[in-house]
Chain A
Amino acid sequence: MTSKGEQSITYLILGVFSLIALLPIVGIIFTAVQAPGSTVGFGHFDGIHLGNFARAWEQGNFGSYLKSSFIVVIAVVSVASVLSLMAGYAFGVMKFRGADLLFYILLLGLMVPMEAIIVPLYYDMRDFALTDTYWALILPQIGTSVAFGTFWMRAFFRSVPRSLVEASRIDGASSWTTLWRVLLPLARPAVLTMCVLLFMWTWNEFLLALVMVSDEGLRTAPLGLSFFQGRNQSDLALLATGAVIVAAPVVILFVFLQRHFIRGMVTGAVKG
């Protein structure tokens, strides 16, 4: 059997790497809760002071940044999940000509990063006078989200027993009814995972916001933070607070739904 020594080594490895992962995060949280105006530097802990959060909210305009982020994220995730459910359903349950080709195109599209299409996207948006609007942030991200979402939901629908769909058809249900009444309840965990991942990716998106938006009122949280950093080189605590505010929603979601996050990234990646 395995020796105590081997067990200890494993826990050691886990422990060390967990610590390394955790330290910068803990450091920035400590920094954020330092007393306003103190100059002790990164990671020093001297009690919890929440004064910086109010300052960041007002001076740093993070209230507005959060609002913009939420608007974009909610729009993208809700539209993309419905569209992905529909498309994934078609791929996973129905037979039609061109299914393989279309899926292949989808797969290739999944590998295309924002960095490669940002340039034409900008100029197209500019032509339609959509730059500096929420649309410039929402529409492209629906496009990229739908690629992953369809891929993900297709994998789910393929795992549903064919007889269930057939029974529904024999009972006289249309394809629409079968999707929303029979299959959706089954799909809830998969849908939740998809939403959680899309939320994370959309919330964290930086380049798109950087390119499309210059109006302060429309800046999303990551973009807002980068500007905040430009204005606040010296006030570490304030900057740290801003960072914590920007990261918090996704981290909180992650802590509560970590099972879904991890399962999503791990199984989704393997199936890809």
Chain B
Amino acid sequence: MDSHSAMSSLPASVAGSVDDVVGSAAPGVSRRGRLRSDRRPPGEPRRVAYVYLIPAFLFFGGFVLLPLVHSIWLSFFEWDGITPGTWVGLRNYADVISDGELRASFVHALILIFFYAVIPVVIGLVLAGSVARVEVRGLTFFRVILFLPQVIAMVVVAVMWRMIYDPGNGPLNQVLRSVGLSDLATSWLGDFNIALPAVGLIGTWVWYGLAMVLLTAGVQKIPHSLFDAARVDGAGPVREFFAVTLPALRGEIAVALTLTTIAALRNFDLIYLTTKGGPGHETTVPAFQVYNRAFMTGEVGSASAIGLTLVALIFLITFGITRVADRGGQQ
């Protein structure tokens, strides 16, 4: 007996009858003299498809789509979560622009995009450019190591880096002091000017491995003949990179940018566990604002609006990146 037949050991009558029950309600007999195009072959699982979809969509609809819609509803209210709320229309959205703290949080998110997305992709491209010309052995080994930061829970990443950034006895400052750069040894997560970049660099550490793996995988799909042709034309490494490698990686770059940008925008865990938005509001981000307002300060409506603005931003940027990538492809 096959080992995977837990499902198929349903009584055959049930298994077979799924199609019967659903399929027999199919459109009626063919009408002579009337051409009915695109009618499903008899017994073609048409309605039965919905049976397969419903369980998954129940969960998806109930725990993703419905909350999304509910969120829209909530965003039009001022509500503390306990007493009845009051209708405020679009005021919560207006706050995104007028409220200084909120505005700053979005600006910080954009800055984090630079650290989470741009730098890693650049690093990835540098490596991809190298790997394109060179035969690398043991790439798998490197890939495993480079990918490790991706699989570690953000909580653990936060714990790690807080220890590293510790002003007193964290290894970073100790190293700086030992090489005579004590002036640079500061409170990384506590300094008003440095905190955001410091957090950003953690993100860079988490994401550059993915970018590297993604882009080198893409490079290996480029047919050798393109490189050979470029070399025959006398192109050096830089020329080759811009003429062959970069255009061919358009798709992978778009994907890498999309994934990392979304990660930067939705970033909650890291902020909560390292700086909690501080010092002051220097590292606050929209996702943190959502949490803070919904569960700490009793501004549920505002939190919802911020969350939805985040979603809109994610959609916009994703589509934007895809459009640019596609248009580049038509050149």
Contacts and interface: CB of A to CB of B under 8 A. Distances in A.
A and B touch in the complex (CB under 8 A): yes
B213 A266 contact: yes
B269 A6 contact: no
A116 interface: yes
A102 interface: yes
A9 B307 contact: no
Interface string B208-251: 11101110010000000000000000000100000000000001
Interface residues of B, number: 111
Interface in B97-129: 123, 126-127
A25 B152 contact: yes
A62 interface: no
A28 interface: yes
A20 interface: yes
B64 A27 contact: no
A42 B15 contact: no
Nearest to B136: A10
Interface stretch (B50-58, B176-184, B186-194): B50-58
Contacts of B133: 2, 6
Contacts of B262: 111, 113
A74 interface: no
Nearest to B206: A21
A115 interface: yes
Nearest to A251: B151
A226 B155 contact: yes
Given A9-B130, A223-B155, 5 more contacts: A123-B300, A176-B8, A229-B273, A239-B159, A269-B255
Interface of A: 2, 6-7, 9-11, 13-14, 17-18, 20-22, 24-25, 27-28, 31, 41-43, 80, 83-84, 86-87, 89-91, 94-97, 99, 102, 105-106, 108-109, 111-124, 139-140, 142-144, 146-147, 149-150, 169, 174-177, 179-181, 184-185, 200, 203-204, 206-207, 210-211, 221-223, 225-226, 229, 236, 239-240, 242-243, 246-247, 250-251, 254-255, 258, 261-262, 265-266, 269-270, 272
Interface of B: 2, 4-5, 7-8, 10, 15-19, 40, 43-50, 52-53, 55-57, 59-60, 62-68, 70-71, 74, 81, 123, 126-127, 130-131, 133-136, 140, 142-156, 159-164, 166, 169-171, 174, 205, 208-210, 212-214, 217, 237, 251-252, 255-256, 258-259, 262, 265-266, 268-269, 272-273, 287, 290-291, 294-295, 300, 303-304, 307-308, 310-311, 314-315, 318
